[in-house]
Amino acid sequence: MSQVQMSRPKTAADEPTVSPALPTADQQFATVAVHAGEARQKPGDSITDPIFCASTYTFENTQSIIDFIEQDQQREEYGRYGNPGERVVERKLAALEGGEDAVLYSSGMAALVGLLMAKLSAGDEVIFFDECYHRSREFCTKHLGRFGVTTRQVKTCDYAAMEAAITPKTRMLISESPTNPHLSVIDLERFAEIGRKRGVDTLIDATLATPYNLRPIAAGIDFVLHSATKYLGGHNDLLAGTVIGSKEKMEPVRNLRGIMGAVNGPQNCYLLGRGLKTFELRMQRHNENGMMVAEFLAGHPRIERVYYPGLPSHPYYEIARKTMRGFGGLVTFLVKDADWRATADVIDAVKIPRIAPSLGGVESLIEQPLVMSYYQQTPEARKQFGIYDNMIRMSCGIESADDLIADLGQALDATA
């Protein structure tokens, strides 16, 4: 008997135990969203995939365990290494993104941590553009440092500064696109080229764009990350995260997830897959609503500035127009001559969007970054990150744009 060793965790791109649906290369996005990753004939002949709640999987006898190990068989073993429903949604995510392998996590932050922990060692350096989700920044600056990893921040879209910051120890270049909450849009090909030229991996957190609006892998980016809690799940009722990349680059990432264990639950995986079936329709509506709300706000006398990549006034409008299919549902804006309290009054006066963190669901959400995410920061820190007292961030859901605009209008009028 050969030495017993840990089995290689299977990748989403591996042959599933049942034959997958049609090849997806020649299918349109909507069809991919409904069918990709799924077997044509599913267990029990169900039209939808069953939810496997099992934590572990049985072997018929001792020899079948040995065969599993020695022959590297594709089958389930233990829930932390994979679940049939999770594999379905991973394959679907990979197909939508145009990547080889997607690894699913229990949240977007778990995905970021999982990727970085798999790719970095003590002494390594990462560089990221400074406009980003504050918890991503916190993990990189406070926690990676504890493991001997150095983090450098450079000004968003300052490609020369990023390139200049690269040292022989640099392992990863990181950015969001669009960024949160300023919605700056990265020139992905330029970003990817810097990484390729210097032999450094590139990571784009494309949560705000989604694979419907942006194709980072086609632009040469190595890893795409999503908080799938947002547009991919789409219903504000599950947490999930994913990293997508080539099979080769994802293998250590998948291996480490099997050890760290930040896997998603079977019910969540099912709801995520269910949400993806209407993904194109929802994104089209989010894009329409985002654009209409941004245009309304841009023309409103009480608004000082609107950050939305679909507006010609946006500093990155040209690159957004060239690289994005739509501009998403997130709109950030500044209320004219308003202090933080007068800005809060506008938020408190809206009736349809709920006041809550998060974004990307069918329900519109609204928040004041100062209060929601930067309340405990010093004014200097807020200024450094471009978080103004009069800033509001709204995630446009898929309600009627007319209703959203009328609601924002009445809130702005009532608090004028």
Partner 1 sequence: MQFRTRAIHVGNEPCPQTGAVVPPLHLATTFVQPGAGEWGEFDYSRSGNPTRKAFETTLASLEGGVGALAFSTGMAATHCVIASLKSGDHVVAGSDIYGGSYRLLHKIANRAGINVTLVDTNDLAKVEAAITPATKLVWIESPGNPRMSITDIDACAKLAHRHGALLGIDSTFATPVLTRPLELGADIVMHSATKYIGGHSDAMGGALVVRDAALLKELYFVQNATGAVMGPLESYLCSRGLKTLELRVREQCRTAQALAEWLASHPRVARVLYPGLSGHPGHELAHRQMGGQFGAMMSFEIRGDLAAGKRFAESTKLFSLAVSLGAVESLIEQPASMSHASYDATDRAKHGIADGLIRLSVGLEAFEDLRDDLESAFAAV
What residues line the site for partner 1 (CB under 8 A)? 22, 27-31, 33-35, 40, 47-48, 235-237, 274, 277-278, 280-282, 285, 352, 354, 356, 358, 361-363, 365, 397-400, 402-403
- Tell me the helix, strand and coil percentages in the chain, rounded to 5: 40, 15, 45
Q: Shortest gap between Cβ of 214 and partner 1 (angstroms)?
A: 20
- Least Cβ distance, residue 327 to partner 1 (angstroms): 19
Shortest Å, Cβ 291 to partner 1: 17
Distance linking the first and last C-alpha atoms of the chain: 79
Query: Whose Cβ is closer to partner 1: residue 66's or residue 292's?
Result: 292
Shorter beta-carbon distance to partner 1: residue 29 or 159: 29
Cβ distance to partner 1 smaller for residue 48 or 121 = 48
* DSSP per-residue letters across 345-374: HHHHH-SSSEE-S---SSS-EEE-HHHHTS
Task: Tell me the closest approach of the beta carbon of residue 395 to partner 1, in angstroms.
Answer: 11
Question: CA-CA distances (angstroms) from residue 388 to 231, 261, 374, 383?
Answer: 26, 38, 10, 7
Question: Structure tokens of 220?
Answer: 């040469």
Answer yes or no: are the C-beta atoms of 306 and 331 closer than 8 Å: yes
Q: Pick the closer one to partner 1 by CB: 49 or 125.
A: 49
- Shortest gap between Cβ of 341 and partner 1 (angstroms)? 22
Nearer Cβ to partner 1 (205/407):
407
Closer Cβ to partner 1, 31 or 255, answer by number: 31
Whose tokens are 């409904």? That residue is 34
Give the up-direction half-sphere exposure of residue 178: CA atoms within 13 A in the CB hemisphere. 29
Show the tokens assigned to 211: 């694979």
Shortest Å, Cβ 247 to partner 1: 26
